[in-house]
Amino acid sequence: MLVAFSVAPSGGPTEGDSLHDAVAAAVRVVRESGLPNQTDSMFTTIEGEWDEVFDVIKRATDAAGQFGTRVSLVLKADIRPGHTGEMQGKVERLESVLKG
């Protein structure tokens, strides 16, 4: 499965500051997980089995939550059992169609 997610803490003592430290803490958890992942300006996408992906997302949310008293979590999932490598595969198939 692929899950794209975004976390944003609020209610911290430095409310109004940039969220880059909180986002960095969450992304660090994802990268250290060893699961395939990709971060862009809006979301971090992670690929793996249901339990392992959601374990990482929970830990990343907890890491971001250290920067506030509340956390907003947005998720979008593509659940396709038996498929791996879809983070790149989906993009490669799209690019192939666009070139054709």
Lowest mean pLDDT: which of 8-12, 25-29, 58-62? Answer: 8-12
Tokens matching residue 58? 């929970």
Give 2-99's CATH code, choosing from 3.30.70.930, 3.40.190.10, 3.40.50.2000, 3.30.2310.20.
Answer: 3.30.70.930
H, E, C per residue of 8-19: EEECCCCCCCCC
pLDDT mean over 60-79: 95
CB contact at 8 A, 93 and 39: no
Write down the pLDDT at residue 16.
Answer: 56
pTM > 0.75: yes or no: yes
In DSSP terms, which residues pair with 51 in a beta bridge?
none
